[in-house]
Amino acid sequence: MDSTRATIAPATSARQIATAFEALIRSARQHARGLSLVAQRTLELWSDMPLLAIEIQPAGLIAEERVLVERNAREAAWTLPAFMAGVRAIGLGEDVTADDLAALAMELTHVQGTPEDIERLQSWLLADGAPGLKIAVQTSFVEVFEGQDIQINANVGAEHAQRMAFDAQATTLQAQELREGGALPEARMALELFSTGRASRGFELTVAERALVSQSVSASSPWFIAELDALLAQPALQQCTSLDRLAARLLRLLRHGVDAAVLERLVALHQHKASFAAQLQKTLHAAHMGAQLGAHLAPPLLHTPLFRALVAALPPEQRVELLLGVLERSEAPDVFEGLRVAAQAIGPHEIINMLPHDVLDAAHAAPLLRLLLAISVPPERITQIIAQLQPAAAVSAATSLPEIYLMELDRTLIRAIARLTPAQALALLPPLMARPELVIADILYTVLAEGRHSDWSHQLTEQCLMRALSKQALPEQRLIKLTRTRHAHTPTRVMSLRQLERFGDLDALRDAVRWRVRELFDPPEIANAMRTRRARLTDIAAVAKREEDPP
């Protein structure tokens, strides 16, 4: 979503969103082929203002107390019947998808002003037809009207109760009825027991029981399992199921938590041979089920054979999504430990094969390497993997490696750092620079000296330079070399010269600025800097001489 947002105009207005929503409904009316694209675009715009609720009024679409799309013969004609059906506002829910918006558009475009349409729309909304959306629904015109002719006395029931009470007194039970009535469970029951229990608060839910009830009504996994089981068992249910919407619903449930029972069912689903199961698997995979699972799997489950069974049952690309999803959370100690146990059980070689180097980015490489180290993958294999990674991933991974690996990988890392974009360098180098080992200084020095890096900011270059000098016995020598090497970037050379000047070692400065033929081919900034320092050194020497030999 972030990458998408970057392409959107920074200030999305409520009017743009309302206009896009109206366009979506027009597309639905025209059965436009690109309905899902229009829905996606509308969702992207709306996601910029996720709290915006568009009011539906007979006048049109309203938000922030302004009419955003006015109803007329061509536009927003649906608002009147929708209003009549009780629809008052439409907003985004947490898990909304473009498909939810498209489905709503399809329903709204079909609603005319007839009572049948109004009832159909309301029934669809009451049946949770638009699950990802927050739709405020009031009583429809038809519903409100139905209650108007019912004359209610607020003391309803009293008259009837009176009649019942008199009847009761007048009732003479037949002997047969009495005998049979006496056999009824309720006749045998002591109402005093209930009464006493109630008085002593014996039937009150304890705090723990309340929590259980609350958990029971909010737990999503039992419904997930029930729905999956029922669907697999009932061909009648399968026939009236839209696989896309079913997958969206199941994934929505997954987002609220994945427990052992859910995992078990998913494994069973992937082992199911029926064609419906196969189609559902395909739809779930297309909707990135693996990533959802990876993001929401409870950590204790990672230890279990169920997790390994699921990893084995998933097709390769889903397996990658799942493992990457878990890796993303592996900063948490319990997730990492769970993953370590699972990886050990699955086998290091298999894990490495499951995650090919081209799928690993900077965010995943570091935790993976940490994991491989934790399960004792041989050093040569680790260096081999890092050598194959994308530059950003390699640098990120190196951040968590022990020093011995860094020494082994110095040339690999120099090459990787050299290929980082300025943005990647800005994000990935500070953690690397924070490591205390000397090898880091050497690597950074080489990168600067060979001028292999891209256009880093002045600040980052300076940070790298300082890190390259830190803990060095002879930092001046590095600065001299950096100043004089023609491979280094010009700003780096100038920066090194200034740094050397700050050190105050005139001999080193003299070495750095000593004239040579190659200076003729240096960029003017370097040549000027050299010249200026030489002149200053000459002045200093002259002053010193005067002080030594007074006239």
Partner 1 sequence: MSAQDHELQDDLEIAIKTLQAIFVLMRTVMAHGTAHPLTHDSVRRVQEVFVVESPWALQWVRGGVFRDQILLELSDELYWRAATLSTALEHLGVNELSFKPTPSAEEWMALGEALALGALGPHDVLETRRPDRLGWRAIPNASWGEDAQEIDPEVFALIQIALSLRDVEAMRAEALHPWPWATSLRLLRRLERAAEAHRRAGTRALELAPEGWTVARRACSAAYQVVCVLQDARADHFLQRTCAHTALALALHGYDETLGVGVTEAAARCAPLLQGLGESARSGAPPHHMRVAVNLHLLASAPPTSWPGPLHLCAMLYELERQRRPERVSFALTLTDLMASLAQDMGTLHPPLWAKALIQAHDTYPPGAHVRLQDGRLGMIINATPAHIEALIDGQLHQLSPRAPLQLLSSMEVFLGG
Which of residues 114 and 271 has its CB atom nearest to partner 1 in the complex?
A: 114
Smallest gap, in angstroms, from Cβ of residue 182 to partner 1? 8
Which of residues 122 and 292 has its CB atom nearest to partner 1 in the complex?
A: 122
Which of residues 204 and 350 has its CB atom nearest to partner 1 in the complex?
A: 204
Q: Which two tokens stand for residue 293?
A: 């699972």
Which residue type does 539 have? D
Measuring CA to CA, which residue among 415, 362, 359, 368 is closest to residue 387? 415
Smallest gap, in angstroms, from Cβ of residue 120 to partner 1? 7
Smallest gap, in angstroms, from Cβ of residue 180 to partner 1? 5
Smallest gap, in angstroms, from Cβ of residue 17 to partner 1? 23
3-state secondary structure of 471: coil
Which of residues 256 and 308 has its CB atom nearest to partner 1 in the complex?
A: 256
- Give the whole-angstrom CA distance, residue 394 versus residue 389: 5
Smallest gap, in angstroms, from Cβ of residue 148 to partner 1? 5
Smallest gap, in angstroms, from Cβ of residue 258 to partner 1? 16
Smallest gap, in angstroms, from Cβ of residue 128 to partner 1? 4
Smallest gap, in angstroms, from Cβ of residue 166 to partner 1? 7
Q: Return left, alpha or beta for 516; rule: phi > 0 is left, psi -120 to 50 is alpha, else beta.
A: beta
Main-chain phi, psi angles of 149, to 5 degrees:
-90, 0
Which of residues 146 and 317 has its CB atom nearest to partner 1 in the complex?
A: 146
Which of residues 213 and 312 has its CB atom nearest to partner 1 in the complex?
A: 213
Q: Which two tokens stand for residue 456?
A: 């880093």
Which of residues 77 and 512 has its CB atom nearest to partner 1 in the complex?
A: 77
Smallest gap, in angstroms, from Cβ of residue 176 to partner 1? 8
Query: Pseudo-torsion of CA 31, 36, 37, 40, nearest 10°?
Result: 140
Which residue type does 272 have? H
Smallest gap, in angstroms, from Cβ of residue 444 to partner 1? 56
Which of residues 233 and 407 has its CB atom nearest to partner 1 in the complex?
A: 233
The secondary element (H helix, E strand) that includes residue 9 is: none
Which of residues 60 and 367 has its CB atom nearest to partner 1 in the complex?
A: 60
Smallest gap, in angstroms, from Cβ of residue 163 to partner 1? 8
- Give the whole-angstrom CA distance, residue 68 versus residue 14: 8
Which of residues 231 and 397 has its CB atom nearest to partner 1 in the complex?
A: 231
Which of residues 124 and 336 has its CB atom nearest to partner 1 in the complex?
A: 124
Measuring CA to CA, which residue among 476, 493, 533, 532 is closest to residue 510? 533
Measuring CA to CA, which residue among 403, 404, 371, 401 is closest to residue 386? 401
- Give the whole-angstrom CA distance, residue 409 versus residue 396: 13
Rg (the chain; Cα; Å):
37
Which of residues 274 and 544 has its CB atom nearest to partner 1 in the complex?
A: 274
Smallest gap, in angstroms, from Cβ of residue 198 to partner 1? 6
Q: Residue 176 contacts by C-beta under 8 Å, 6 or more apart in sequence?
A: none
Smallest gap, in angstroms, from Cβ of residue 80 to partner 1? 6
HEC-encoded secondary structure of 151-172? CCCCCCCHHHHHHHHHHHHHCC
DSSP state of 204: S
Q: Return left, alpha or beta for 257; rule: phi > 0 is left, psi -120 to 50 is alpha, else beta.
A: left
What burial letters (b/e) apply to 467-493, b meaning 16+ CB within 10 Å?
bbbeeeeebbebbbbbbbeeebbeebb
Give the DSSP per-residue string, 227-277. HHHHHHH-HHHHHT--HHHHHHHHHHHHHT-B-HHHHHHHHHHHH--SHHH
Which of residues 40 and 390 has its CB atom nearest to partner 1 in the complex?
A: 40
**CA atoms 65, 67, 71, 77: torsion sign:** negative
Return the biggest CA–CA distance within the chain: 147
